[in-house]
């Protein structure tokens, strides 16, 4: 079961969270609709290739990653979206495309967009397209210890 690794991590750290089942959804914005929350509260993990390394950038579902901003965070290094074949093996217990924003569980560094950090709670996948969890952003930050930066595209709503 994909959720067991994420749930075990949260349980080990005494994190209170809610687990939900919902119809199969692929996009993060559809996850927001299925959970009846704003796309600003859904954590969308995006896997990037920085040289030969993977990195996970977590942004609100409502906005795309800004690769120029991310490149600056990585010291001007070339950054691109990772291909599925580059990260599928890194998340062996997850459905492809349903990776949870807990890259720390898989040896992948995590970078959290400051807009999501400013929220009180977040909704995210737990490794499946049919299950998600809701938890306090403060607990997520405490457990994952992501680097927090401006990573998402600017929008009038942000």
> For 70-94, how does the pLDDT look when each residue is reduced to its tens digit (9 = 90+)?
999 999 888 999 999 999 999 999 9
| pLDDT, mean of residues 123-152 | 96
Q: What is the pTM of this model?
A: 0.93
Would strands 147-149 and 110-113 be described as parallel, antiparallel, or unpaired? parallel
Q: Is the pLDDT of residue 3 over 80?
A: no
For the domain made up of 3-149, the CATH class stated in words is alpha beta
Domain ranges in the chain are 3-149
Q: Is the pLDDT of residue 67 over 80?
A: yes
pLDDT score recorded for residue 1: 44
Q: Is the pLDDT of residue 97 over 80?
A: yes
CB 2 within 8 A of CB 127: yes
Backbone angles phi, psi at 8, to 5 degrees: -60, -40
- Give how far Cα 124 sits from Cα of 1, 41, 98, 127, 148, Å: 16, 9, 9, 9, 17
CB 157 within 8 A of CB 62: yes
pLDDT score recorded for residue 51: 85
């Amino acid at each position: 079961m994909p959720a067991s690794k994420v749930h075990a991590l949260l349980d080990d750290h005494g994190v209170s969270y809610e687990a939900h089942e919902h119809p199969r959804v692929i996009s993060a914005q559809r996850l927001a609709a299925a959970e009846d929350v704003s796309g600003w509260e859904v954590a969308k993990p995006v896997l990037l290739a920085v040289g030969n390394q993977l990195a996970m950038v977590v942004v609100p579902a409502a906005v795309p990653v800004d690769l120029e901003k991310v490149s600056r965070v990585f010291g001007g290094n070339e950054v691109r979206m990772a291909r599925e074949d580059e990260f599928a093996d890194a998340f062996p217990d997850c459905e492809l495309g349903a990776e949870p924003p807990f890259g720390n569980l898989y040896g992948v560094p995590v970078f959290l967009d400051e807009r999501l950090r400013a929220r009180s709670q977040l909704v995210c996948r737990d490794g499946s397209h049919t299950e998600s969890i809701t938890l306090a952003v403060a607990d997520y930050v405490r457990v994952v210890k992501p680097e927090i930066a401006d990573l998402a595209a600017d929008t009038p709503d942000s």
